[in-house]
């Protein structure tokens, strides 16, 4: 019998997650699934997976690749199928009932997968295959899967004995629950603040489009006026455009005090998370969690991460200092009563200075970036580079009316993937932008499974009289997430666990970051930037300004990313439990690159979901690590032409199609012909 948590109601009808899908190309039946289906579905899936694991362990035949490694790889398919729905809903359609289900499911899955990796009989079989792997006649991918499977078991405590095994089980279950709690608190805290303005003068400086969106948000809540909150792009509009400094300060403080005390406090949760991670790392024989987590990444060890962070700090901090001085001088020159630059002033005055220096701002560009046309342009970029095409299919079930689903076809017209796009913010959706590989590609014994990927953003909403018009940053965000999508869709491997984006965390951002570079190319802008009213292409003059302004505040932007990297490493290189003030710890960790400190009452960590609920623990540095790779790779990619099909084919063959079938450094060098250097990034950013 299904055991449901309080607040969840049982479904009387059949559970669609446990039935054969009657859907287009076996896509998830999002429209049929209710929250009450999830817990019972997982209970049944776990029961079946347990039986599959028991069958592997109980075999009398000697362990080999097929009966152990491959059998383990192919087990648990029902769990994966349910995960595709559950993960999509918790990211995009969260509500109280789903949160209650998440609490139950998180505990179930943590206990279940701990039982697998701590199963001594199963690990013994995996170990035996691993030890004789070079004598089994395995192909390269089979060898890679064997090694990665063995390393997975080592990473998850399989070699621990006695009380240490039980301690690992307890710690990992605790960590799963803590990270879930952190994510829920962050979402709730973000939506806990909003303000309805009834005096239009208080919103002086806000563009008409932003006002129209805010008026519609107020109307939906039955209120008169203009509603602004802490979600994107609402918060960003206040910070960039509001003339009233007190309004900017109010929103800044609300944003940076989310989950700091109060009902959704994450301060103690942070300490519990980093201390639990420290215990896990030390239990596994490492001095700290970062040393444990980096063992299987490109960086390899803590010293290499700090070497990169310090190298970038030395190159970019002097530039950032000059940029801050320029903003302060601009304030001194333009304000009747000059004042000291504060964090809530940065976006507003840097936007004004950018307009002055380059005669360029988002309001000039937005009419050329109508979402539907940008979508066609981004999809068209993939067609020009890789020959793939996209066809919208309304018969594919989606989780929200704003979501579109597309079938993807290769050059020969053969089906190869499904991609879902979910562009707009809503209260049930987490902030930011992300790609999810909800079903990985595989091809075992000729049974090809096609990838399904999702792209979720929080872009500018349409208004009553205008379509969604994107900022330039939103265009580059689209390209970034689409790069992740290509990594998933163009995968061509045998085993799902090695497919697509299942690569080192410090390599996974490279295929996404390389895509951002096309946003500055005339050949791309000509195809994507079309005025939504006149149909005229973006003028050459504006393209020139986009390129000229491309490195505006590049030092500050880099230092901001470095600050997050230093903070991440500080949290995850502790050797003793963190017990003090989280905000003070944060300020100390990033002080070498923080040129505009927050007020002492503010703290960014309590909503730093990348670290505490998003899988980037001891890994946030990867954005800059991957960016170095991406600039170096882009120079090679476009050495002869912006749309070089030969180099595109090489990138697809050596990077996008290979997943994790080889170490990331080998994949990169197979494409590039040499290791990456920082030189290309410094040149692109105007540093060198």
Structural domain harbouring 125: 16-159
Q: What is the pLDDT of residues 230-243, one digit of tens each?
A: 999 999 999 999 99
Number of domains, the chain: 2
Tokens 């562009």 identify what position? 423
Contact indicator for 677, 668 with CB cutoff of 8 Å: no
In a shared domain, residues 99 and 213: no
Contact indicator for 658, 646 with CB cutoff of 8 Å: no
Q: Give pLDDT, residue 315.
A: 97
Six token digits for residue 223: 């209120």
- Distance of alpha carbon 137 from the chain centroid: 38
Q: What is the spatial distance between Cα 20 and Cα 35, in angstroms, rounded to a whole number?
A: 19
In a shared domain, residues 228 and 151: no
Greatest alpha-carbon pair distance for the chain in Å reads 85
Other Cβ atoms closer than 10 A to 87: 14
Cis peptide bond upstream of 233, omega within 30: yes
Contact indicator for 478, 458 with CB cutoff of 8 Å: no
- Distance of alpha carbon 415 from the chain centroid: 26
Q: Give pLDDT, residue 6.
A: 39
- Looking at the predicted structure, is the pLDDT value of residue 2 above 60? no
In a shared domain, residues 48 and 93: yes
Residue 245 resides in a domain? yes
Contact indicator for 306, 577 with CB cutoff of 8 Å: no
Compute the average pLDDT of residues 255-266. Answer: 97
Residue 116 resides in a domain? yes
In a shared domain, residues 155 and 198: no
Tell me the C-alpha to C-alpha distance, in Å, between residue 120 and each of 69, 125, 157.
Answer: 15, 9, 11
Contact indicator for 280, 289 with CB cutoff of 8 Å: yes
Domain boundary pick from 119, 143, 159: 159
Residue 534 resides in a domain? no
In a shared domain, residues 132 and 210: no
Beta strands in 316-414, from DSSP E residues, in sequence order: 389-392, 404-409
Q: What is the spatial distance between Cα 645 and Cα 454, in angstroms, rounded to a whole number?
A: 26
Angle, helices 96-117/163-190, rounded to nearest 10 degrees: 160
Q: How would you classify the pairing of strands 415-422 and 434-439?
A: unpaired
Compute the average pLDDT of residues 575-590. Answer: 97
Tell me the C-alpha to C-alpha distance, in Å, between residue 407 and each of 459, 539, 682.
Answer: 23, 33, 39
- Looking at the predicted structure, is the pLDDT value of residue 12 above 90? no
Other Cβ atoms closer than 10 A to 543: 19
Q: What is the pLDDT of residues 294-315, one digit of tens each?
A: 999 999 999 999 999 999 999 9
Q: Give pLDDT, residue 11.
A: 82
- Distance of alpha carbon 515 from the chain centroid: 15
- Looking at the predicted structure, is the pLDDT value of residue 10 above 90? no
Domain boundary pick from 205, 222, 255: 255
Six token digits for residue 431: 């902030």
Q: What is the spatial distance between Cα 230 and Cα 256, in angstroms, rounded to a whole number?
A: 10
In a shared domain, residues 242 and 115: no
Q: Give pLDDT, residue 1.
A: 27
Residue 224 resides in a domain? yes
Q: What is the pLDDT of residues 68-122, one digit of tens each?
A: 999 999 999 999 999 999 999 999 999 999 999 999 999 999 999 999 999 999 9
195: enclosing H helix or E strand:
strand 194-197
Contact indicator for 401, 430 with CB cutoff of 8 Å: no
In a shared domain, residues 112 and 53: yes
Other Cβ atoms closer than 10 A to 551: 14
Q: How would you classify the pairing of strands 415-422 and 404-409?
A: antiparallel
In a shared domain, residues 29 and 152: yes
Domain boundary pick from 234, 255, 276: 255
Could you give phi then psi for residue 361, rounded to 5 degrees?
A: -155, 175
Question: Which ranges of 58-95 would DSSP assign to H, the alpha helix?
Answer: 71-74, 77-92
Compute the average pLDDT of residues 342-352. Answer: 98
In a shared domain, residues 107 and 229: no
Q: What is the pLDDT of residues 408-434, one digit of tens each?
A: 999 999 999 999 999 999 999 998 999
Q: Give pLDDT, residue 335.
A: 97
Residue 67 resides in a domain? yes
Compute the average pLDDT of residues 196-202. Answer: 98
Q: What is the spatial distance between Cα 599 and Cα 688, in angstroms, rounded to a whole number?
A: 34
Instruction: Please choose, from the candidates 128, 19, 35, 22, the residue with its C-alpha nearest in 3D space to the C-alpha of residue 78.
Output: 19
In a shared domain, residues 133 and 224: no
Six token digits for residue 166: 């039980």
Instruction: Please choose, from the candidates 101, 130, 137, the residue with its C-alpha nearest in 3D space to the C-alpha of residue 3.
Output: 101
Q: What is the spatial distance between Cα 230 and Cα 208, in angstroms, rounded to a whole number?
A: 19
Instruction: Please choose, from the candidates 274, 278, 261, 345, the residue with its C-alpha nearest in 3D space to the C-alpha of residue 603.
Output: 261
Residue 184 resides in a domain? no
Residue 81 resides in a domain? yes
Q: Give pLDDT, residue 4.
A: 37
Compute the average pLDDT of residues 180-208. Answer: 97
The three-class DSSP label of residue 308 is: helix
Question: Which ranges of 455-534 would DSSP assign to H, the alpha helix?
Answer: 472-489, 505-508, 510-516, 522-528
pTM of the model: 0.95
Instruction: Please choose, from the candidates 208, 211, 198, 202, the residue with its C-alpha nearest in 3D space to the C-alpha of residue 244.
Output: 202
Q: What is the spatial distance between Cα 602 and Cα 257, in angstroms, rounded to a whole number?
A: 5
Q: Give pLDDT, residue 13.
A: 78
DSSP 69: I
Q: What is the spatial distance between Cα 122 and Cα 139, in angstroms, rounded to a whole number?
A: 23
Q: What is the spatial distance between Cα 156 and Cα 116, in angstroms, rounded to a whole number?
A: 10
| 576 labelled catalytic | no
Q: What is the spatial distance between Cα 235 and Cα 248, in angstroms, rounded to a whole number?
A: 9
The three-class DSSP label of residue 453 is: strand
Query: What band does 8 get if pLDDT is binned at 50, 70 and 90?
Result: low
> What's the CATH code of the domain at 147?
1.20.1050.40
Provide the mean pLDDT of the chain: 96
In a shared domain, residues 36 and 122: yes
Q: What is the pLDDT of residues 122-161, one digit of tens each?
A: 999 999 999 999 999 999 999 999 999 999 999 999 999 9
In a shared domain, residues 107 and 54: yes
Residue 595 resides in a domain? no
Task: Tell me the three-class secondary structure of 369-422, residue by residue.
Answer: EEHHHHHHHHHHHHHHHHCCEEEECCCCCCCCCCCEEEEEECCCCCEEEEEEEE
Exactly one of 481, 509, 516, 627 is catalytic; name it.
Answer: 481
Q: What is the pLDDT of residues 30-63, one digit of tens each?
A: 999 999 999 999 999 999 999 999 999 999 999 9
Tell me the C-alpha to C-alpha distance, in Å, between residue 86 and each of 28, 35, 459, 472, 606.
Answer: 10, 9, 23, 32, 24
Q: Give pLDDT, residue 3.
A: 35
Q: Give pLDDT, residue 9.
A: 58
Compute the average pLDDT of residues 173-184. Answer: 98
């Amino acid at each position: 019998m299904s055991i449901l948590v309080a607040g969840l109601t049982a479904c009387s009808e059949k559970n669609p997650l446990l039935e054969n899908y009657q859907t287009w190309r076996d896509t998830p039946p999002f429209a049929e699934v209710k929250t009450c289906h999830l817990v019972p579905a997982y209970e049944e899936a776990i029961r079946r997976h347990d039986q599959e694991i028991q069958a592997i362990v109980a075999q009398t035949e000697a362990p080999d690749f097929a009966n152990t490694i491959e059998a383990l790889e192919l087990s648990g398919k029902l769990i994966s199928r349910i995960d595709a729905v559950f993960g999509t809903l918790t990211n995009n359609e969260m509500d109280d009932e789903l949160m209650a289900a998440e609490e139950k499911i998180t505990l179930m899955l943590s206990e279940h997968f701990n039982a697998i990796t701590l199963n001594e009989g199963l690990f013994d079989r995996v170990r035996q295959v691993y030890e004789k792997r070079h004598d089994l006649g395995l192909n390269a991918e089979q060898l890679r899967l064997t090694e990665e499977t063995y390393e997975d078991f080592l990473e998850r405590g399989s070699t621990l004995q006695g009380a240490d095994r039980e301690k690992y089980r307890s710690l990992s279950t605790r960590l799963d629950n803590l990270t879930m709690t952190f994510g829920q608190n962050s979402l709730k805290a973000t939506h806990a603040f909003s303000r309805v303005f009834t005096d239009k003068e208080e919103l002086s400086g806000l563009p008409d489009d932003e006002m129209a969106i805010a008026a519609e948000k107020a109307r939906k809540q039955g209120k008169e006026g203009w509603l602004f909150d802490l979600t994107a792009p609402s918060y960003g509009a206040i910070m960039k455009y509001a003339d009233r400094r007190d309004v900017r300060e109010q929103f800044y403080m609300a944003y940076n005090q989310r989950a700091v005390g109060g009902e959704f406090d994450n301060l103690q949760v942070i300490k519990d998370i980093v201390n639990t991670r420290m215990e896990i790392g030390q239990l596994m024989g490492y001095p700290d969690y970062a040393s444990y987590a980096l063992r299987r990444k490109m960086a390899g060890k803590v010293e290499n991460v700090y070497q990169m962070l310090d190298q970038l700090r030395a190159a970019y901090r002097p530039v950032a200092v000059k940029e801050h001085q320029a903003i302060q001088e601009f304030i001194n020159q333009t304000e009747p009563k000059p004042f000291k630059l504060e964090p809530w002033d940065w976006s507003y005055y840097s936007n004004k200075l950018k307009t002055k220096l380059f005669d360029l701002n988002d309001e000039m560009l937005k009419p050329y970036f109508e979402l539907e046309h940008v979508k066609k342009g981004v999809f068209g970029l993939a067609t020009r580079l890789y020959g793939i095409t996209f066809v919208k299919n309304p018969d594919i079930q989606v989780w929200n009316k704003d979501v579109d689903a597309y079938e993807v076809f290769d050059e020969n017209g053969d089906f190869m993937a499904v991609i879902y796009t979910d562009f707009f913010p809503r209260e049930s959706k987490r902030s930011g932008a992300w790609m999810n590989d909800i079903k990985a590609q595989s091809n075992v014994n000729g049974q090809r499974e096609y990838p399904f990927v999702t792209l979720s953003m929080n872009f500018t909403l349409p208004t009553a009289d205008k379509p969604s018009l994107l900022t330039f940053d939103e265009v580059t965000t689209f390209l970034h997430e689409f790069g992740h999508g290509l990594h998933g869709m163009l995968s061509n491997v045998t085993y799902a666990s090695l497919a697509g984006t299942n690569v080192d965390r410090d390599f996974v951002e490279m295929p996404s970051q390389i895509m951002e570079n096309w946003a500055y190319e005339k050949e791309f802008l000509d195809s994507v930037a079309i005025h939504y009213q006149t149909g005229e292409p973006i003028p050459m003059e504006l393209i020139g300004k986009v390129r000229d302004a491309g490195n505006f505040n590049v030092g500050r932007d880099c230092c901001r990313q470095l600050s997050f990297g230093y903070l991440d490493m500080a949290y995850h290189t502790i050797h003793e439990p963190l017990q003090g003030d989280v905000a003070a710890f944060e300020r100390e960790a990033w002080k070498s690159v923080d040129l505009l400190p927050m007020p002492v009452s503010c703290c960014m960590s309590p909503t730093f979901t990348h670290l505490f609920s998003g899988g980037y623990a001891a890994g946030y540095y990867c954005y800059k690590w991957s960016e170095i790779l991406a600039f170096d790779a882009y120079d090679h990619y476009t050495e002869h032409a912006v749309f070089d099909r030969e180099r595109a084919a090489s990138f697809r063959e050596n990077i996008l199609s290979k997943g994790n079938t080889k170490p990331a450094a080998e994949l990169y060098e197979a494409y590039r012909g040499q290791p990456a250097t920082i030189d290309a990034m410094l040149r692109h950013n105007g540093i060198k």
